[in-house]
Amino acid sequence: MSLLSILGVISSAIFSGTSLLYTTLGETIDERAGIVNLGLEGVLLVSASAGFAVTSQTGNPYLGVLAATLAGGLMNLLFGFLVITRRANQLASGLAVMFFGFGLSALIGKPYVGARIDGLPRFILPGLSSIPMLNTPQFKFDMLIYLVVPIAILIWWLLFHTRWGLRLRAVGENANTAFAAGCSPQLIQYQALFFGGLLAGLGAAHLSIAWTMTWAEFMTAGRGFIAVALVIFSKWHPIRAIAGALLFGGAVAFQLLLQASGIAISPFLLDTLPYILTVLVLIAWGGTRKHAAPASLGRVYQGTE
């Protein structure tokens, strides 16, 4: 295994993990406010297709990123209307959003299937270019990748060092207590969902505009669900999510590496790796998870409706 291929794995992991990280960060905010969005898959698809379509039409990837981001915010607001205002079951609403996303993204993306675009430009960070080892094409990243860790840190700061974050977390722990303290849980949850949706949109934008630069139906391949699992895995903490996203991005990259090295494990079994890993982690962390989760996280967790 050469240095090149190791770098290749790391690079793939970073590319693959970035969209996952954005999505996870968005979902972390949502869940900290007490809402589980199982329809993330649909949100991502709509954002990805919208962003791709706009980029293809206008030739401007930045506009595409903007479109994808907004699309994510809007989809989450739709979800929010159901679960906050209409008090619908979060699980069923999430799945409805998922269906909706499947269909809407297919509709939006139909004219652009197989189209190629010029995605976000990639460049090496000026500081890194002086390190000869890293000065390879594989380490040319786009701006969304460079921004993701600072954004994660920003979100950490927002959640734990501002009044808005305190109130948001309070709503997720106990909406009644938050209400007694003078907050409006509904308003806060809408804000959280919108913000989270914007981030999910950014993640989707990275997927279709910056990394793969294509559009295909169902191209997110379950990333929405992995993100939800990643939120649990990172114990609802934005900084830990970075490690988690890298790990899972790495699992995908690792699979590619194994294939390239000619190790004879069926690609299909390798496909299951991220999901099985997630389930195992969930089981292993099952006991501690209960204490780490926001106490009022989705009445989904009571399972009755």
Contact flag: residue 300 with another protein (CB under 8 A):
yes
Contact flag: residue 275 with another protein (CB under 8 A):
yes
Contact flag: residue 217 with another protein (CB under 8 A):
yes
Q: For another protein, which residue of 4, 103, 154, 260 counts as binding (CB under 8 A)?
A: 103
CA distances (Å), origin 30, targets 36, 48, 198, 227, 265: 7, 20, 11, 12, 38
| Residues of this chain, 107-126, that bind another protein according to CB under 8 A | 107, 110
Residues 20-49: x/- map of binding to another protein (CB under 8 A)? ------------------x-----------
Residues 171-210: x/- map of binding to another protein (CB under 8 A)? --xx-xxx-xxx----------------------------
The two structure tokens encoding residue 38: 């199982």
Bridge-based pairing of strands 141-142 and 122-123 is antiparallel
| Residues of this chain, 156-175, that bind another protein according to CB under 8 A | 161-164, 166-167, 169-170, 173-174
User: In this structure, are residues 55 and 61 in contact, taking their beta carbons and an 8 Å threshold?
Assistant: yes
62 alpha carbon, distance to own chain's centre? 19
The two structure tokens encoding residue 282: 């969930």
User: In this structure, are residues 218 and 99 in contact, taking their beta carbons and an 8 Å threshold?
Assistant: no
Q: How far is the CB of 166 from another protein (least distance, A)?
A: 6
Per CB under 8 A, the segment of 9-17, 193-201, 251-259, 277-285 that binds another protein is 277-285
User: In this structure, are residues 169 and 30 in contact, taking their beta carbons and an 8 Å threshold?
Assistant: no
The SS3 call for residue 127 is coil
Contact flag: residue 222 with another protein (CB under 8 A):
yes
